Amino acid sequence: MIFINRQIWTKTIKQVFFIALIVLVAGFASNRLRSDKMPLVEDWSAKSNLVTSSGENLEISLSEATNLFKKGEAVFIDARSMAEYDAGHIKGAISLPYKEVDWKFVEAMAGVSEESAVITYCDGETCELSMELAVFLRNAGYKNVKVLSNGWSAWKQNGLPVETGE
């Protein structure tokens, strides 16, 4: 029976130990040798995710975003799904679901000049759609793109103008 057969368990423990040893060596070695080494421990807090690979922080604070909104100086882009957008979004925001960005991009961004301030948002602190969309837009030529972290929730909680429907 399983617990009586002591021999096989001793063997198993030994093997697990050696497998772990090999994995440690292989993992360390491969990580050291590769050009894009990773630090073994890294800061994975929500904020650090809003920094591009070139080190630029794309985050915009809620107060800054609100200011731009009031002056009408920024275009808000909703990176969530169409259904979520319909259920409620920042007033005047354009819907550009990141998952459909490839074929919705041209139509959605038609009226937005590359020079204008663009703020992407989604929902939840760890939602990555807005950041991914921001990187996409920057690559597409938009020079002034920012991410409003936890955008939809923060916006709603502060009682800022919202609207529903398409």
CB of 125 to another protein, least distance (A): 10
Cα–Cα dist 91/72, whole Å: 11
Helix axes 101-108, 129-139, angle to 10 degrees: 60
Q: Are strands 94-95 and 145-148 parallel, antiparallel or unpaired?
A: unpaired
CB of 91 to another protein, least distance (A): 25
Cα–Cα dist 73/43, whole Å: 33
Cα–Cα dist 89/44, whole Å: 28
- Pick the closer one to another protein by CB: 51 or 91: 51
CB of 9 to another protein, least distance (A): 8
- Pick the closer one to another protein by CB: 23 or 51: 23
CB of 136 to another protein, least distance (A): 12
Cα–Cα dist 108/85, whole Å: 13
Contacts of 124 (CB under 8 A, 6+ apart): 150, 153
Instruction: Say how many C-beta atoms besides its own lie within 10 A of residue 56's C-beta.
Output: 9
Structure tokens at 5: 């057969």
- Pick the closer one to another protein by CB: 43 or 166: 43
Binding site for another protein (CB under 8 A): 1-2, 5, 8, 11-12, 14-16, 18-19, 22-24, 26-28, 30-31, 34, 36, 38-45, 99, 126, 128, 132
Determine which helix (DSSP H) or strand (DSSP E) holds 63, and give its type and residue range: helix 62-71
- Pick the closer one to another protein by CB: 30 or 57: 30
- Pick the closer one to another protein by CB: 99 or 143: 99
CB of 31 to another protein, least distance (A): 5
